[in-house]
Amino acid sequence: MDDGPHPLPAEFDRLRAPSSAYAPRQVVTYLCTREHVISVPFAAEAEVPEVWDCRCGQPATRVAAADAS
């Protein structure tokens, strides 16, 4: 009996998907004008913006990250 191609269970796809735990990441720290510190995780290959919108609505500027390399 040929059951033909059928969709894989969603669970299978989830297991195969690259987990964020394994994805290379960088955490970028921003400091807003009200001295809020924000840590934003980005994918390692993501282009990191110099300015981030803080939760208080002020622009937060990127803080030089401690370079692990």
Where along the sequence are the contacts to Zn ion (CB under 5 A)?
A: 32, 34, 36, 54, 56, 58
Nearest approach, Cβ of residue 65 and Zn ion (Å): 19
Nearest approach, Cβ of residue 42 and Zn ion (Å): 19
The 3-state secondary structure of 19-50 reads CCCCCCEEEEEEEECCCCEEEEEEECCCCCCC
Nearest approach, Cβ of residue 63 and Zn ion (Å): 13
Token pair for residue 4?
A: 């033909």
Return the number of the residue (34 or 43) whose C-beta is nearest Zn ion. 34
